[in-house]
Chains A and B, each alone.
Chain A
């Protein structure tokens, strides 16, 4: 607990010692660090799977693994990256650390629940990985019925693991909504909140509303596999397409769980490194909430050729177009923020610009896929694979990397090697485009996704793509080195190295256990660069 005498040498890292103090901590900052370690470990595993997939696809036919092994790699790559990396990546790691700091609070509303959500992730992940010892799972991360009902029972473990990890996400979202509503610093109204908080808040709404539907869907799938309840089995009067509706009712909003907080980070980065007030604060804030709201009514755009009714397809296509508008607004606002700014080419800003570049491409191809007749051709081809990697990796992962470098001095009180971070960025950015741009062409030419083998005509572009993936791998290894080197050898960081205006920069680096020595009071907007 806080002591009366202020000792500035104590911070959240060194005020208690030992592994046990970390595993039982209720401090949101420490829980954030726990998430950072786990998410990075899962990212490494998922990344290795990705490298294996691309290496297998280097040549047509068998290269290093057989079809059954390939399908498992593909399934686990997807499940790990979605459930264990991107969904907890921003909210549970960076959000946990910085939401209370940006709000000027001492902690999140429910610290015990916060710790419990981390354990849910760990337990869920352990159950999922355990399935690898029971023939694994080969359904793809989407678990489509009836294939998932008929395939090996290792799938049940992956499904149950995802179910448990869902609770992690629900609890985090619930905590963040309560924290945002109830624990803002004196003087901070909703429109004085930083845009990262708006992003997390919109995300939390989706986590709370959509994830329970995933939970029941996965429970029904597990019951289907163990008891044959027949909800999704045509032989018993059920409907396999119903599963897709249930699944995408969660999983489409889930892609906004992945991108909304990323957009929040980008708003922070662009205003900080342009040293300029954000352009259209309210437009960005409202478009976050707007995207979250519309996201619940667009799931059917994954199902234009699934056999859903034509009317449904038309409605879903139209609503999907509506999501495009707030997304476009945000993008233009970020560009406008840079106008007449003072732009510093620090590595977080490079990642922010990388985000703008890749996300724009991901966005416009998203409009193509929302157009029904075009989607008929592109659906389930590499065009879709390229599109969602541009949005999820080019968007979310770029934002995570930018966010890590931006907040690294605050989290650890140390600086990182700027040169290393820029080198890592160059490899990732170039490698990313080399990997995924050819996949747009492959998709347009008709190469379906989830293919272990492909026609010889597709080989050259696949080889370019594989080489690109190894380049990304090198980039992330350099990034890992930058982080470890910064932790061990980094120079001591000042409290506010970037001249940023939000509250987390007003405390020491690293922050004390209770976040602030004096309760901060807020008198204006979060980005008053004058």
Chain B
């Protein structure tokens, strides 16, 4: 099966044709995205539960987040989703060079996102705004402000790890695209990685208002 020549539009032995394989792969990725939504779902449930129990804590916690960083990151991820779509478009049109460029911009966006995330984390760690037991910020008003930061670190941390995985996958796509492995007949990996990347963006679009913009 490893010997299948993808560039000629061939497919693995248990499929009827290349389209059948493509559609099946996409179906599999959609199922995988369902599992991702449910995994984050657990954290969202915890978020809503605790924010209902301790609304003041959450309002206070959000004050220590800088919405400007969050907004920049939202913009960066939206841009990266757009360039991801472009990458798929160019692959479909056999334009390998532009495909590689688009994917590279997407990857750079990922780096920018993670760098800003790093700045935010470093600042908070310095202030002692740490999760749960490790919380050591002296000027906290709410007694359980650490719980808000537990929620913050768990949600953004799990999301950040997904961004990292997504960046790795995009890098893998770039390498394969450079070798000219993708064309109008075969671009399944970019399509699937793209779907994953869009989900990661989408989750951030929910995280941003929930964590940064509470009044």
Residues of A at under 8 Å CB distance from B?
A: 1-2, 26, 100, 105-111, 113, 170, 174-175, 177-178, 181-183, 208-213, 215-217, 219-220, 223-224, 227-231, 233, 236-239, 242, 246, 514
Contact = CB atoms under 8 A, between A and B. Distances in A.
Contact of B147 (A105, A181, A237): A237
B35 A208 contact: yes
B134 to A, nearest CB: 6
29 contacts: A100-B14, A107-B14, A109-B28, A110-B25, A111-B1, A174-B31, A178-B31, A181-B27, A182-B23, A182-B27, A183-B15, A212-B36, A213-B38, A213-B41, A216-B158, A227-B132, A227-B134, A228-B134, A229-B133, A230-B131, A230-B144, A231-B150, A236-B132, A237-B53, A237-B143, A237-B147, A238-B50, A246-B42, A246-B45
A227 B36 contact: no
A133 to B, nearest CB: 27
B153 interface: yes
B108 to A, nearest CB: 29
A514 B24 contact: no
A196 to B, nearest CB: 20
B42 A216 contact: yes
A216 B155 CA distance: 11
Nearest to A110: B28
Contact of B50 (A2, A107, A183, A237): A237
B44 to A, nearest CB: 10
Contacts of B133: 227-230, 236
Interface of B: 1, 3, 12-15, 20, 23-25, 27-28, 31-32, 34-36, 38-43, 45-46, 49-50, 53-54, 57, 131-134, 143-144, 146-147, 150, 153-154, 158
At the interface, is chain B mostly helix, strand, loop or mixed?
helix
B31 A229 contact: no
A417 B1 CA distance: 38
The 6 A-B residue pairs with the shortest CB-CB distance, nearest first, are A228-B133, A237-B144, A230-B132, A216-B42, A229-B150, A106-B14
A230 B152 CA distance: 12
Contacts of A109: 14, 24, 27-28
Contacts of B1: 1, 26, 111
Contacts of B23: 182
B28 A230 contact: no
Given A216-B43, A223-B154, A514-B13, A229 B132 contact: yes
Contact of B146 (A110, A177, A230, A242): A230
Among A110, A229, A236, the most chain B Cβ lie within 10 Å of the Cβ of: A229
Given A107-B13, A220-B46, A230-B147, 15 more contacts: A182-B27, A212-B36, A213-B39, A216-B39, A227-B133, A227-B134, A228-B134, A231-B46, A231-B150, A233-B132, A236-B144, A236-B147, A237-B50, A237-B144, A239-B49
